[in-house]
């Protein structure tokens, strides 16, 4: 019986090329893995496997599939570069830097609060102002960083 799915008029998509199969008009991968970007599919195939990528794409609405593919390619790329930690290495490093930034901000605001409490400021025209920027600073008003649990590195 002849299939209703005819081969695409152009070349196969990068996924069908790698998987050595015929690329049909209903190919799930073709919209996201163009034949001139073979590495994109090769990466996700190596890390997630074609069938898992297919399952993930089936799980998400069509309008979000391009984002899903881009995030899978990015994640696979990072895992291939860092097989031990992958994206988790980047997350842990960002979390560490966030904490450093938070500490720096708390320190800067605490010093600012000290200044506000202990100084008389001069305006540019030579006048004297008491605490002109006091409303702008609050040591307690620091960034709350609790959305992501820390990755439990040893």
Chain contacts with its own copies (rule: CB under 8 A): 46-49, 51-52, 56, 59-60, 64, 67-68, 70-72, 74-75, 79, 83-91, 93-95, 97-98, 100-102, 104-105, 108-109, 111-112, 114-116, 118-124, 133, 136-137, 143, 145, 147-148, 151-154
The tokens describing 70, both together, are: 């881009």
C-beta separation of 35 from 14 below 8 A: yes
Closer CB to its own copies, 12 or 48, in the complex: 48
Closer CB to its own copies, 21 or 97, in the complex: 97
C-beta separation of 86 from 75 below 8 A: yes
Q: Considering the complex, what minimum distance in angstroms separates the CB of residue 12 from its own copies?
A: 23
Closer CB to its own copies, 7 or 68, in the complex: 68
Return the DSSP state at 128.
E
Q: Considering the complex, what minimum distance in angstroms separates the CB of residue 137 from its own copies?
A: 7
The tokens describing 86, both together, are: 């992958």
> 63-84 burial string, b = 16+ CB within 10 Å, else e?
eebeebbeebbebbbbbeeeee
């Amino acid at each position: 019986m002849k299939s209703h799915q005819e081969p695409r008029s152009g070349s196969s998509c990068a996924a069908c090329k790698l998987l050595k199969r015929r690329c049909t008009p209903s190919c799930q991968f073709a919209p996201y893995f163009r034949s001139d970007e073979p590495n994109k599919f090769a990466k996700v195939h190596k890390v997630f496997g074609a069938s898992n990528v297919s399952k993930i794409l089936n799980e998400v609405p069509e309008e979000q599939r391009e984002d899903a593919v881009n995030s899978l390619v990015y994640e696979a790329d990072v895992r291939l570069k860092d097989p031990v930690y992958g994206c988790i290495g980047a997350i842990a490093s960002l979390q560490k830097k966030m904490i450093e930034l938070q500490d720096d901000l708390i320190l800067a605001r605490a010093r600012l609060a000290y200044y506000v409490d202990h100084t008389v400021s001069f305006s540019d025209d030579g006048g004297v102002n008491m605490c002109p920027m006091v409303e702008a600073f609050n040591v307690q008003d620091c960034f709350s960083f609790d959305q992501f649990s820390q990755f439990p590195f040893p």
